[in-house]
Amino acid sequence: MNSPVLNRKLTLEEPVRTPDGAGGFTQSWQALGELWAEIAPRTGRERAAGFATVSTITFRITVRASPDGAPSRPKPDQRFRAGSRLFRILAVTEADASAHYLTCFAQEEVSA
């Protein structure tokens, strides 16, 4: 495997649930840190959602590996932020046999 080109700075975020005082909760996002990444587009599709069209694009995002349990290790249901762009993490696996890198399969939705 060739070494990935980690040229994009992403913020790793995780959801935080806060009680709303009425028996429910509100969800916000907490930044866990910044990671350098390589982002490669994969597939896309378009679907109707009410009166709007939503384009869904999947990406393969490669980052340096972190030990299991480390807060800097991405997990499914977290997300990456790059400015106003959001990439929801669907799955994470080791990218190479020596486990120097992780591959995150992520999805970005864009409303038009």
pLDDT in tens, 36-70: 999 999 988 888 877 888 788 899 999 999 988 89
C-beta separation of 92 from 74 below 8 A: yes
pLDDT in tens, 1-34: 678 899 999 999 999 998 888 888 899 999 999 9
Look up the CATH superfamily of 8-111. Answer: Bacteriophage SPP1 head-tail adaptor protein (2.40.10.270)
Cα-Cα-Cα-Cα torsion 78, 108, 64, 6, nearest 10 degrees, comes to -150
Distance CA 10, CA 105 (A): 14
Distance CA 91, CA 81 (A): 16
Distance CA 100, CA 50 (A): 43
